[in-house]
Structure 1
Amino acid sequence: MSQYRTFTAADAVEYAREFGGIADPQSLVSSQEIGDGNLNLVFKIFDRDDVSRIVVKQALPYVRCVGESWPLTLDRARIEAEVLQIHGQFCPAHTVKILHYDPALAVMVMEDLSSHAIWRGEQVKGIDYPQAAAQLGEYLAQTLFHTSDFYQHPYQKKADVIRFTNPELCDITEELFFNEPYEVHERNGYPRALESLVAQLRTDDELRQKVAGLKHRFLSNAEALLHGDVHSGSIFVAENSLKVIDAEFGFYGPMGFDVGSALGNLLINYCALPGLLAPREAADAREKRLDDVRTTWQSFAEGFLALAAEKTRDRALAYPGYAAEFLAKVWRDTLGYCGTELIRRTVGMSQVADIKTIQDEVMKAECVRQAITLGRTLILAADHVENIDALIARVRQNG
């Protein structure tokens, strides 16, 4: 197995037998392809008792949802495996465990999370996981602090910036976040009733300048090793457990991008809930989602400052007060990137189940309108929303 080929279900079973670390490899007998993403093949591997034991994931040499007309580097599999291994070193409780990686086949073997559920799907159904937000904040604090200049030796940091340069996947992010939603583009998709609102995004000079600044910081600020695509569809949850997966968009970038992406997806669900649940259930779920937003930020911020106080290695960055000043800058970035996530998930290509599941087209348009309007507000007001309480107040004002 030294040269690349696309795996079949039978190939995945054989590979799991060899590299899954199972005491009785021959007990693995079947597989099911479960990949519903845009880029990869994902197989669950089952034993004789039809219990899922291992997951095998293979990168395809093109964007799966488009086809071979959009080729894509297989090196993203290396980046994903190594990002998750590093994040797992610093936050093992909340990072999926990678058991094996093969660069030639662009295949990784990872722990099975069948005991968990995808957080987005649970949110769509109105199912609450009270511990998840704090756990997500802990994951963000641990991974972003320990891969930043506060903790990493400068030689290692500079080498890792090169090691995790990810131009093709970053190009996708740059287009989907910062370019296409603000242009007339064939990949965009939104309710026709909102055409005038979306058209305003293209001609709003102040907004476009703010988005340009966010893109420039994304291109330039190598603050930490990001996951690069932190959303509720790449997070598995169970009672008292949260695991982050899918880090193929990882690279060194601005910390606020990961935090903003996470908060943005919570707020997309907030906007969508009136179209997903009955009125009273939706109102209760919205309050829980705002609690999740608050808790995620607070857990991240408190965790980051505690780590900075205890473990900062750079003498200048350890000077009293600097970590808090830096965190204020991360907050402003977080708000801006949160806004771009709201807009790109409702105007651009990467639509999400929170919106797509809404059956009533009029209600769907209203939920999308709220998300676009909130996204624009956060991008424009990022320098003036002082803290998490002010953010919650802005969200409530949005409707």
Structure 2
Amino acid sequence: MTGSRAGDYRILHEAALRDYLAGVPNLAAVLGGAPASWVITEVGDGNLNLVFIVKGAGGGVAVKQALPYVRLVGESWPLPLSRAHYEYLALSRQAHLAPGLVPALLHHNEPLALTVMELLEPHIIMRKGLVAGTHYPRFVSDVTNFMARTLFFTSDLALSAAEKKEGIAAFAGNHALCKITEDLIFTDPYRVAVQNHWTVPYLNTFAASLRADMELHVAVSRLKLKFMASPEALLHGDLHTGSIMVTEGQTRVIDPEFAFYGPMGFDVGAVLANLLMAYFASAGHERSPGERRAFEGWVLETVEQVWSEFAQKFLDLWRTDAKGDAYPATLFAGEKGAARLEAERQAYIQRLFGDAVGFAGAKINRRIFGLAHNIDFELIEDPRRRAISEARAVRLARAMLVETTTFQTIADVTGAARGLRDWMPEFSN
């Protein structure tokens, strides 16, 4: 952290960033060589921030600076710079709880809303790899370690009540980012909102149905209430395949600026939703019929493994590291108590699964009808083909939201997805 004053914020473009980095000795040492020789490239393709890759003779760094507004929209949508502080705080805690699964932090300047991290190379954004049909054999193990450890160890199962409340307080000020989620995921897709958009004209009737479906409105509103009122653990808050960088042998979770204490199923559901969208989008990227079937099979296997391995790891941590104030051991003494507590653990994880299923449905709808879409669908050039893939995903999403209890296992989810793989919506006839 530098000695900058609160009034020192300014947007650092290439020349100013070069001077700034040159003035931070440890960063200049990482980059090496003369500052004038450093190559600075702005690569931010997200919705909110500036992101630079800086390379010198000795190495490289990634630099992220928050803008005082939503980059995707512009200055008409102001956003507090404090989100950079919460992102730094979240990355610090995640690095402690899930070592090796987030980028190493090299420098943070709170007044400038700027963070410098290790440069992840040759990692790519996972979503881009999925569009290309790439398999990632380490992903399941890594992402389930990340979720199980960051969620369990920030919950009442691992922490004293005082420690947990201090954690909630530390992130309570990140309400502006929570408000974005509350509106863009749980509210706007189900009403007329100026920033909504979808694949027209093919999905017009689907969009109208979302606005008229009262059962869907009730289901998504219950999830919104849970999101706002259930501080179960420290969430990443935006854990999608665009916030994960991968190689075939490594996984790194990035961009936790939406971090706050909320329901665990939100993070888990976000991962499941994005894999399911990759599955449905795959057909739209085919150059010949059926060429991506093997990849699609791998994606659905991955969906199943993400849930099953997460659940197993979370339960194992509960059995070995339950030092929190919830479920005190003195109430579950002896064989009878141990058996009853184990049954309660299974019931707990089943409730978490139901939450994840519902949140996954909400995540799918927002990416198809809301403000910020994803490239899984958007890179399908033919709008009719794109809409077919999207309509299949939307049909599953409604079932996950309104008929959540019919999905008792993750195989129920993947089976329903598989059953919709070749379903043709009416507009396609």
Shared fold by TM > 0.5?
yes
Aligned match of 2:169: 162
Tell me if 1:142 matches 2:149: yes
When structure 1 is superposed on structure 2, of 31-40 and 274-283 the one drifting more is 274-283
Q: For residues 221 and 315 of structure 1, what CA distance do their matches in structure 2 show? A: 17
Instruction: Note the alpha carbon deviations across 1:110-167, whole angstroms, 9 max, x for none.
Output: 1101221110000001111122122111111111011111112211210111110211
Q: Distance in 2 between matches of 1:185 and 1:110?
A: 36
Larger Rg: 2
1:57 is aligned to 64
Partner Cα separation in structure 2 for residue 21 and residue 35 of structure 1: 20
Residues 159-179 of structure 1 show CA distances to partners (whole Å, capped at 9, x for unaligned) of 111110211111100111111
| Residue 291 of structure 1, CA deviation | 1.0
Q: 1:71 to 1:120 in 2, by over 3 A?
A: same
- Give 2:426's aligned residue: none
Secondary structure of the equivalent of 1:54?
A: strand
For the pair 1:266 / 2:271, whether they are aligned, the reply is no
Query: What is the aligned-residue identity percentage?
Result: 37
Residue of structure 1 in register with 2:322 after alignment: 312
Kept in 2, the 8 Å contact 1:19–1:100? The answer is no
1:55 aligned partner, one-letter code? A
State the match for 2:370 in structure 1.
348
TM norm structure 2? 0.89
SS in 1 for 2:291: helix
1:1-399 map, 5 Å: 1-2=4-5, 3-17=8-22, 18=24, 20-21=26-27, 23=29, 26-27=32-33, 29-48=38-57, 53-165=60-172, 166-191=174-199, 192-278=201-287, 279-314=289-324, 316-317=326-327, 319=332, 320-321=341-342, 322-399=344-421
Q: Distance between the aligned counterparts of 2:207 and 2:257, measured in 1?
A: 30
Q: CA 1:325–1:207 in structure 2 vs 1: closer, same or farther (change >3 Å)?
A: same
CA contact (8 A) 2:156 2:325 kept: no
Matches of 2:121 and 2:19, distance apart in 1: 20
**Which is worse superposed, 16-25 or 98-107?**
16-25
Look up the SS of the partner of 2:408 in the other structure: coil
Q: Aligned equivalents of 1:365 and 1:119: distance in 2? A: 23
Range that drifts further, 199-208 or 209-218: 199-208
TM-score by length of 1: 0.96
Flag as ranges the 4+ runs of structure 1 deviating above 6 A: none
- Partners of 1:61 and 1:361 in 2: CA distance: 34
The root-mean-square deviation of aligned C-alpha atoms, in Å, is: 1.6
Unpaired stretches in structure 2, ≥5 consecutive residues:
333-340, 422-429
Sort the Cα spacing of 1:20 and 1:297 in 2 relative to 1 into closer, same or farther, 3 A: farther
Amino acid at match of 2:390: V
SS at match of 2:103: coil
Distance 1:24 1:358 in 2: 40
Are the equivalent residues in 1 in contact too, given 2:160–2:325 (CA < 8 A)?
A: no
CA contact 1:272–1:354 (8 Å) conserved in 2: yes
| Partners of 1:144 and 1:201 in 2: CA distance | 32
Q: CA deviation at 1:19?
A: 5.8
* SS in structure 2 at match of 1:225: strand
Counterpart amino acid of residue 126 in structure 1 = G
How far residue 326 of structure 1 moved from its aligned partner, in angstroms, is 1.6
Structure 1 residues 19 and 97, CA, compared in 2 at 3 Å: closer, same or farther? farther
Instruction: Determine helix, strand or coil for the equivalent of 1:56.
Output: strand
Residue type at the aligned position of 2:67: L
Does the CA contact (< 8 Å) of 2:157 and 2:326 recur in 1?
Answer: no
Deviation at 1:282, TM superposition (A): 2.1
